[in-house]
Chains A and B, each alone.
Chain A
Amino acid sequence: MAEVPKLFKVTIDNITIEVAPGTTVLNAARQIGGDVTPPAMCYYSKLQGSGGKCRTCLVEVAAGSAADPRPMPKLVASCRTNVMDGMIVKNITSERVKDARAGVVEFLLLNHPLDCPICDQAGECHLQDLGYEHGKEGTRYEFSRRTFEKEDIGPYIQLHMTRCILCYRCTYVADQLTNNRVHGILDRGDHAEISTYISKAIDNDFSGNMIDVCPVGALTDKTFRFKNRVWFTKPVDAHRDCDKCCGKVTLWNRGDEVLRVTARKDQWGEVQSYDGKPGWICNTCRFDKKHLNDWVIEGPMKVNRHSVISANHYVETVKPQETIAEVMGGRQPRLMMDIHNISDVNKPGVHLSELPGPATGETFNPQQLNGSES
């Protein structure tokens, strides 16, 4: 008879779940999902050895195990701590965790340029999400922020070292996916930086995956640079037969134009796995196949409703419950107006989509509208 492997019981924020021995606290929390899952900026389940560095995933262990129920004195990195049978973990139910995590977020943003308005990562940046969910308003930092010399790391990838949070993910990609890592971390401490050795360009079939793992806008796709904001694009899942990689990608389109190709991401923002194998994509698929007819379109990408990218996408949405009638006790709301009718900015008669260029004041003929003022 095959032996049934014993499962470990772990309780995270009062929710108990059974997981296989060897599972980390973070992955156990991911199985529960929702708010119970600590944020992870450096851990990446598909990259061996990753994690432990950013400290955003710190949790409190209120009881080590059933056998030894003593609490752990320090907060631990949930991404690198394995569960024990009977372990009790506190994540958002722990004030200590919230306090330490807010501290980590502050540290991560301390020297960050906060240049989201001109950053291609905006909208899909994990640091934005982290700051929004776990950070505090304002900064207590009154010094000039760290800057770095710009460095060219080849034709496909743009490096913005000022945005890097030193999660080391890209170095693991280079170690584990390409046959020769030519970039790494030079220097140490707050002056450490990602660099290629003597500025040698990163030129390898799988190097583009560094862009996908980078949680911030430190590594972005040069072929997509400044082309569009992600939330204006229409992401669709597509595939092609590729002899180098799985060929399963997301195309980020505008009209018939393929602006960007990325690997498909799972709900944790990681590259999706197929049959247990991470779906990394090759540079040919990523950078050279920019025509719709290179691809077999599968359908719209599933976008999390909470993501800014979901703006204007109505796929898989559920019609919200009609609450107004309920609130109003059956009476009809009195004030309902058509914004177009009262706005003097917009004129229903002007068809924006038919303009040759962007709309300007001229388009709406302001003199005529506000004649009294001119």
Chain B
Amino acid sequence: MGRKLLLDKAHIENIRFYDVYRREGGYRSVEKALKTMAPDVVTDEVKKSGLRGRGGAGFPTGMKWSFLAKPEGVPRYLVVNADESEPGTFKDRYLMEFIPHLLIEGMIVSSFALGSKRSYIYIRGEYAWIVDILEQAIAEAKNNGWLGKNILGSGFDCEIYVQRGAGAYICGEETALLESLEGKRGNPRIKPPFPAIKGLWDCPTVVNNVETIAAVVPIINEGGEEYAKIGTGKSTGTKLISACGNIKKQGVYEIDMTISVEEFIYSDEYCGGIANGKRLKACIPGGSSVPILPANLLLKTAKGEKRMMTYESLADGGFATGSMMGSGGFIVLDETQCVVRHTYTLARFYRHESCGQCSPCREGTGWMEKILLNIEKGKGKMSDIDLLWDIQRKIEGNTICPLGDAAAWPVAAAIRHFRDEFEWHITNPDDAVRRNYGLMHYADILTVVAS
């Protein structure tokens, strides 16, 4: 069994409520930090832990915190990103729904470290019922003296507010989130300036993912160095993975980043293998924005090494033969799945969710969707594949925010690894509407070319 730090107590009955949470050792990290540590020392512990942002980009959290500008007399803000709208990702929901006090506890400690007296949770609008859960947890924490003025006599004041989004994936992008939080249209800002200098209401701001902030609790309780001992390399600590698709046991798992992808999919502790006796065809290991990999490249890297569930190993091979940890949305496709249809579905999502500010993303996403639908319906042309490639290439890197890249990458990866399947759709238009291409060679063991 791997170590569990976040969800180890999630199954205890009524852990959602303050009394049980406190009885199980909750809010110890607040006591420790506020009574015995200076804010900078808390940041140092987070730095030592090697914690990387769990929202998708994997940026080292301690470093992000140390970039926060601290001009005299200007408020600073911590904003927790609970927008979680990436297809395949539903880990934050689990955490907030079942163990909301863990997030509140992490927020108090983090707010203390950053000097944020008003901290916000920006939550996706569709998580309406979780707003109530969080607000109840905040009220309980406040009634018990963990929020409000002069917490634990430390002189530190802090309030937490929950703000609901209105249903836009783009509001998960941190600067769009800040715009939305300010009550404006959720368009990503043009950077620089970065939020660490000018964020919420032009004040220095840190935006972190729910899971990132929750992980601060065990880091403070056990110490940054202890936390860094879990995992491998630069992938320290534990990571929540939301697994879905054609597996036996869909759900949210906490892994300690020492296991292989194969073990994660097939072991009974995690996904329990592919459902209905089918074979694995492909997988998107980190949420819809990261490149899809065929079974053979998923389980082993191009060098023939076992692929591990770590930031480094999932990215091994770059975009040519690797993928990314992303936000931990693990989507498994079995041999009955159609990669073209799947890519179309994603393209449709990104077209719908583009904010429309910059021309390549606004126009390119819609164009790709239309071409993919044609191919899927057996109306494609051979030249469409190269056209798709050219469109995604002209979007990638040329936009304001990473949504453009996120829309381009799935299309690029699907063509890169599953070109045969696209071509089959075009050359067999009648079959393409009746049946799927199947597994074909996508699970065949690759011969490693010595370089």
In residues 346-377 of chain B, which contact A (Cβ within 8 Å)? 351-360, 362-367, 370
Cβ 8 A contact of A140, one of B363, B365, B387, B400: B387
Closest residue of chain A to B189 (Cβ to Cβ) is: A52
A104 with B354: CB separation less than 8 A: no
Complex Cα distance, B401 from A298, in Å, reads: 47
Task: Check: B397 CB closer than 8 A to any chain A CB.
Answer: yes
Interface pair B357/A190, CB less than 8 Å apart: no
What chain B residues lie within 8 Å of A299 (beta carbons)? none
Q: In the bound complex, do residue B185 and residue A53 qualify as a contact, i.e. CB atoms below 8 Å apart?
A: no
Contact B359 A190 (CB under 8 A): no
B397–A53 contact, CB under 8 A? no
Inter-chain contacts of B394 with A (CB < 8 A) = 99-100, 103-104, 106-107
Binds B, one of A2-10, A72-80, A85-93: A72-80
Q: Are B358 and A54 in contact (CB under 8 A)?
A: yes
A143 interface neighbour in B185, B357, B370, Cβ under 8 Å: B370
Chain B: interface secondary structure?
helix
Q: Which residues in B have their C-beta under 8 angstroms from that of A52?
A: 190, 358, 400
Q: How far is it, in angstroms, between the C-alpha of A168 and the C-alpha of B366 when the chains are bound? A: 20
A157-184 interface with B by 8 A CB criterion: 165-166, 168, 184
Query: Is the beta-carbon distance between B190 and A80 smaller than 8 angstroms?
Result: yes
Q: State whether the Cβ of B308 lies closer than 8 Å to any Cβ in chain A.
A: no
Instruction: Mark each residue of chain B from 169 to 183: 1 if its CB lies under 8 Å from any CB of chain A, else 0.
Output: 010000000000000
Judge whether B355 and A104 touch: CB under 8 Å: no
Q: Given the complex of chains A and B, what is the CA–CA distance between A316 and B33 in angstroms?
A: 76
A190 lies within 8 A of B351 (CB)? yes
Main SS of chain A's interface residues?
loop
Known: A75-B398, A140-B387, A143-B370. A107 touches B363 (CB 8 A): yes
Contact (Cβ within 8 A) A189 B190? no
Q: Does A61 contact B (CB under 8 A)?
A: no
Which residues of B sit under 8 angstroms from A168, Cβ to Cβ?
357
B357 touches A166 (CB 8 A): yes
A189 and B400 in contact, given A100-B394, A103-B360 (Cβ under 8 angstroms): no
A165 surroundings in chain B (CB, below 8 A): 359
Is there contact, CB below 8 Å, between A184 and B356? no
* Closest chain B residue, CB of each to CB of A54: B359
Residue B436, interface by CB 8 Å: no
| Contact yes or no, A190 B365, CB < 8 A | yes
Q: Which residues of A contact B362 (CB under 8 A)?
A: 107, 166, 189-190, 192
Within 8 A of A (CB), among B287-341: none
Q: Which A residues are CB-close (under 8 A) to B359?
A: 53-56, 104, 107-108, 165-166
Interfacial residues of chain A within 45-94, with CB under 8 A of chain B in the complex: 51-56, 58, 73-75, 77, 80
Residue of B nearest to A105 (CB): B359
**Residue on B nearest A141 in the bound complex, by CB:** B367
Contact in complex: A77, B190 (CB < 8 Å): yes
Residue of B nearest to A187 (CB): B356
Inside 8 A of A111's CB, which chain B residues have their CB?
363, 366
Give the A interface residue count (CB, 8 A).
35
Name A166's contact: one of B190, B356, B365 (CB within 8 Å): B356
Asked if B360 contacts A74 (CB within 8 A), the reply is no
Chain A residues near B185 (CB, 8 Å)? 184-185
In the complex the two chains form, what is the Cα distance from A129 to B353 in whole Å? 31
Known A-B contacts A107-B359, A107-B394; the reply to A190 vs B366 at CB < 8 A is yes
Closest to A168 in B: B357
Bound CA–CA A192/B363 (angstroms): 11
Q: How far is the CA of A66 from the CA of B366 in the complex (A)?
A: 41
- A192 touching B190 in the complex, CB below 8 Å, given contacts A107-B363, A110-B367, A111-B363: no
A53 touches B358 (CB 8 A): yes
Q: Once the chains are docked, how many angstroms separate the CA of A141 from the CA of B387?
A: 10
The answer to the question of B168 belonging to the interface, with a C-beta cut-off of 8 Å to chain A, is yes
Closest partner residue, chain A, to B186 (CB atom): A188
- Distance between A74 CB and nearest chain B CB, rounded to angstroms: 5
Task: Produce 1/0 per residue, B65-106, CB < 8 A to A.
Answer: 000000000000000000000000000000000000000000
Q: Judging by beta carbons under 8 Å apart, are B398 and A108 in contact?
A: no
The answer to whether B399 has its CB under 8 Å from any CB of chain A is yes
Highest count of chain A CB atoms <10 Å: which of B168, B394, B400: B394
> A188 near B356 (CB under 8 angstroms)?
yes
Given contacts A107-B394, A189-B352, contact A53 B357 (CB under 8 A): yes
Cα–Cα, bound, A106→B363 (Å):
9
- For window 99-122 of A, CB contacts with B under 8 Å fall at 99-100, 103-104, 106-108, 110-111
Chain A residues near B352 (CB, 8 Å)?
189
Instruction: State in angstroms the CA–CA spacing of A100 and B358 once bound together.
Output: 13
Once the chains are docked, how many angstroms separate the CA of A111 from the CA of B353?
18
Q: How far is the CB of B169 from chain A (nearest CB, A)?
A: 10
| Residue pair B354, A55 in contact (C-beta under 8 Å) | no
Contact of A53 among B366, B387, B400 (CB under 8 A): B400
Q: How far is the CA of A143 from the CA of B387 in the complex (A)?
A: 14
CB neighbours (8 Å) of B370 from chain A are 143
Chain B hits for A192, CB < 8 A? 355-356, 362
* Chain A proximity of B84: nearest CB distance (Å): 19
Complex CA gap A290/B439 in Å reads 73
Residues of B within 8 A of A110 (CB): 363, 367
CB B102 to nearest CB in A, in angstroms, measures: 33
A192 to B170 alpha-carbon distance, docked (Å) = 14
Separation in Å of the A195 CB from the closest CB of chain B? Answer: 12
Q: Contacts A52-B400, A107-B363, A107-B394 hold; do A189 and B351 have CB atoms under 8 A apart? A: yes
- Min Cβ gap B411→A in Å is 15
Closest A residue by C-beta to B400: A52
Q: For A106, list chain B residues within 8 Å (CB).
A: 394
A171 → chain B closest CB, angstroms: 10
Closest B residue to A108 by CB, please name it.
B359
Contacts of A80 in B (CB 8 A): 190
Contact of B397 among A56, A75, A184 (CB under 8 A): A75
Measured CA separation A80–B185 after assembly (Å):
20
Query: Interface 1/0s, chain A 218-240, versus B by CB < 8 A?
Result: 00000000000000000000000
Report the separation of the CA atoms of residues A184 and B365 in the bound assembly, to the nearest whole angstrom: 23
Closest Cβ neighbor of A171 among chain B residues: B185
Residues in B with CB closer than 8 Å to A58 are 398
**Chain B residue with the shortest CB-CB distance to A106:** B394
In the complex, what distance in Å separates the CA atom of A75 from the CA atom of B360?
13
Shortest Cβ distance from residue B176 to the other chain A in the assembled complex, whole angstroms? 10
Q: Given A166-B356, A188-B356, A104 and B398 touching (CB < 8 A)?
A: yes
Closest to A192 in B: B356
Known contacts A54-B358, A74-B398, A189-B356; can you find 15 more A-B pairs with CB under 8 A? A51-B190, A52-B190, A55-B359, A80-B190, A103-B398, A107-B359, A107-B362, A140-B387, A168-B357, A187-B356, A188-B355, A189-B355, A189-B366, A190-B351, A192-B362
Interface residues of B (CB under 8 A from A): 168, 170, 185, 190, 351-360, 362-367, 370, 387, 394, 397-400
- The 14 sampled A-B contact pairs (Cβ below 8 Å) are A52-B190, A54-B359, A55-B358, A55-B398, A75-B398, A100-B398, A104-B394, A106-B394, A141-B367, A143-B370, A166-B356, A185-B356, A189-B362, A189-B366
3 closest residue pairs by CB, A with B: A103-B394, A192-B356, A52-B190
